[in-house]
Amino acid sequence: MPRASESCPKAAVSLSEMAKACQLSRSRFYELITEGIMPAPMYDVITRRPLYPQELQRECLHVRASNIGISGRYILFYQRRQQVLAVAGAGSSRSRRAPQAASSAPCDELVETLNALGLTGVSEQQVQAAIRACYPNGVNGADESEVIRAVFRHLRRSDAAS
């Protein structure tokens, strides 16, 4: 028999938990509240912490699922690109052509991002070497922004050392 905590949602969750349940960052969730797309939280009288009781949890999840905000405005949610970068760290199997071809697209994207951040003249080989140096076990599970930051810092350090 399932426990009560498994069969029904929590009575109330924090704003961070609600953002995570909606697959959004906290900052983006706050933006959506300000824009009137997501419902504002209730506040605990004693602790003054923002809370989402079950009714508001359902509303938030409904907004995420239906792409219609509580104001009636349409909102498009994009999927995170975390899986794309996970392929970039999988360059260990070079005998097959498919993984190598799949890893060039994320590296192209990463090179463009690094160029936009001010690192000009960065090659795909340098990016792949930086990913291997920063993430020897691959970037699986790492947030895209963390990977970009780590690769950026690694390349800046290696550029300063040369």
- Predicted confidence band of residue 94 (pLDDT cuts 50, 70, 90): very low
Q: Render pLDDT for 27-48 as a digit per residue (tens, 0 to 9).
A: 999 999 999 999 999 999 999 9
Q: Render pLDDT for 56-92 as a digit per residue (tens, 0 to 9).
A: 999 999 999 999 999 999 988 887 655 445 445 444 4
Q: Render pLDDT for 96-115 as a digit per residue (tens, 0 to 9).
A: 433 433 445 567 788 888 88
Give the total residue count for the chain.
162
pLDDT at residue number 80: 61
CA angle 107, 108, 113 (to 5 degrees): 90
Instruction: Report the alpha-carbon distance of residue 49 to residue 13 in Å, rounded.
Output: 10
pTM above 0.85, yes or no: no
**Segments making up each domain of the chain, as ranges:** 8-66, 82-161
- Predicted confidence band of residue 117 (pLDDT cuts 50, 70, 90): confident
Fold of the domain spanning 8-66? Multidrug-efflux Transporter Regulator; Chain: A; Domain 2 (1.10.1660)
Percent of the chain with pLDDT over 90: 35
Instruction: Report the alpha-carbon distance of residue 46 to residue 5 in Å, rounded.
Output: 25
CA angle 60, 69, 16 (to 5 degrees): 35
For the chain, give the mean pLDDT: 79
Query: 13: exposed, middle or buried (C-beta count within 10 Å: 0-12, 13-18, 19+)?
Result: buried
3-state secondary structure the chain: CCCHHHHCCCCEEEHHHHHHHCCCCHHHHHHHHHCCCCCCCEECCCCCCEEEEHHHHHHHHHHHHHCECCCCCECCCCCCCHHHHHHHCCCCCCCCHHHHHHHHHHHHHHHHHHHHCCCCCCCHHHHHHHHHHHCCCCCCCCCHHHHHHHHHHHHHHHHHHC
Question: In terms of pLDDT, which residue wins out, 143 or 9?
Answer: 143
* Number of other CB atoms surrounding residue 74 within 10 Å: 9
pLDDT at residue number 160: 59
Radius of gyration of the chain measured on its C-alpha atoms: 21
